[in-house]
Amino acid sequence: MFTPHVPVTNPTQPPSVWAIDEAHSPLYWFPRDCPRATAWPRTEGERADFRRAFETSSERVHAVEAAWRGRMVACVLYRYEFEPAPFRPWAEASGQYVSSDAVEPLAIEPVGDLLALHAAAGIELRFVPNLWPVIDLVVAGPWDFSIVRTHLAAPRAAF
């Protein structure tokens, strides 16, 4: 059973249970508390700039500090399926939904090897020594992005 709660990182949020749609689920293919930066173009117009800025042919880039690689390999992550009725779109992030009611999963299944999931989805997964240069690049462009748990990232290094 998932019961509504106020997240520590967003204390102004009403108590809720969060869910994410299938298209945005790769944003959560990481161990708990893993700091990360992810980015992807939303339109054909953003695609060329995205590929040039990230020097990639991939449609998505996910970056994690190299210190988390072992935890990514060892992580056992589960996917929970919920009845959609109690959820409504969360206005603060695309692809996310909230419920103010407690919800019971309809199904629970392990998602498998996180590195293999990224590869199979065509997502470029980068292990970087410091996350901050990627974060700077992620927020610099017009593409969509997600940045999570920066308070747990290594300090910004002087470059």
Beta-bridged to residue 96, according to DSSP, are: 20
Tens of pLDDT, residue by residue over 110-123, are 999 999 999 999 99
Shortest CA distance to 128 belongs to which of 120, 137, 116? 137
Shortest CA distance to 36 belongs to which of 61, 11, 10, 9? 61
Contact in structure between 115 and 125 (CB atoms under 8 Å): yes
- Average pLDDT of the segment spanning 8-28: 93
Domain ranges of the chain: 17-152
Whether 21 shows a pLDDT value over 90: the answer reads yes
Whether 35 shows a pLDDT value over 80: the answer reads yes
% of the chain residues with pLDDT over 70: 99
- Average pLDDT of the segment spanning 71-95: 95
Shortest CA distance to 20 belongs to which of 76, 77, 64, 84? 84
β-pair type (107-110, 78-81): antiparallel
The pLDDT of residue 124 is: 98
- Greater confidence (74 vs 7) lies with 74
C-alpha distance across the termini of the chain, in Å: 46
The pLDDT of residue 8 is: 85
The pLDDT of residue 159 is: 62
Token pair, residue 59, equals 């449609």
Whether 10 shows a pLDDT value over 90: the answer reads no
Tens of pLDDT, residue by residue over 43-65, are 999 999 999 999 999 999 999 99
Predicted structure pTM score: 0.90
Mean pLDDT for all residues in the chain: 95
Shortest CA distance to 43 belongs to which of 142, 127, 124? 142
Whether 158 shows a pLDDT value over 80: the answer reads no
Tens of pLDDT, residue by residue over 98-110, are 999 999 999 999 9
